[in-house]
Structure formats: C-alpha cells, structure tokens
Amino acid sequence: MERLKQLRQEKGLYQKDVAAYLGVDRTTYVKYETGVSEPTQETLKALADYFDVSIDYLLGRTDEKNPGQKGPEFDVNSIEYALYGEVRELDDEEKQQLLELARFMRKRRKEMMEK
C-alpha cells in the first residue's frame, strides 16, 4: 500500500500518529505501508476516512483521491459524511462546541428567514 506513506507525508504525520488513530502498534502500521501485511476491510475504511480518499485510491485502483467529490460543491450527504469523519477526531468538549455552533447557525438562519 505505497499510497499510505505518500498520504501520511502529505499531511505531515508520523507513522505513530496514524497508528494511534487506528488503535494499532506503530509496527503494525509500518507493515501496512510497506506491504508486508494487508489491513482488514474495517481498517481500510478507517484509513480512507482519515485521509479523505476512497478505498479504491488506497488500493491503487484509481488515481482520483476521492471521485465522489466534484470540487468545492458537495451534495448534503457528502457534507454530512465529511463532517462525521472530522467530528470523530474531536474530544468531547470540542464536540460540544461544534454542536453549540450548529445550533447557533440554525437559530440565526431561522431568524433571518422570519424577517
């Protein structure tokens, strides 16, 4: 899985960072990068989410990192999915702050529509 190293380096991460995200030892992650062992389906999904690419890109089946994303405009489901991936990495306090921000934005939009 040669693309793992490239993606990790693009984000300025260390092997230990990705391993911690996956909940595995660094040596296990190194084996994924070097092709010594193959990640499970669940691990592939987690890696694709983490690097915001498709599983097909990770496996070298396509050169498009995320073929479902067509530029800056996403459909609602894509935005919600992207947010889900981002929120998973937040701690509880940050999640609470994000929830409060979303509620504030919804309230503000409602008030604007009433005017």
Residue 31 belongs to domain spanning = 2-58
Whether 11 is in a domain gets the answer yes
My answer on whether 53 and 83 are in the same domain is no
My answer on whether 49 and 93 are in the same domain is no
Q: For the domain that residue 53 is a member of, what is the CATH number? A: 1.10.260.40
Whether 102 is in a domain gets the answer yes
Mean pLDDT in residue range 87-103: 86
My answer on whether 43 and 9 are in the same domain is yes
The number of distinct structural domains making up the chain is: 2
Mean pLDDT in residue range 25-36: 95
> Taking Cα atoms as reference points, which of 77, 76, 24 lies closest to residue 47?
24
Higher-confidence position of 17 and 66: 17
**46-63 tens-digit pLDDT:** 999 999 999 989 998 888
Q: How many helices (H) and strands (E) does the chain have?
A: 7, 0
Residue 2 has pLDDT above 70, yes or no: yes
Whether 34 is in a domain gets the answer yes
Residue 9 has pLDDT above 90, yes or no: yes
Question: To the nearest whole number, what is the mean pLDDT of the chain?
Answer: 84
How far apart CA 83 and CA 101 sit, in angstroms, is 13
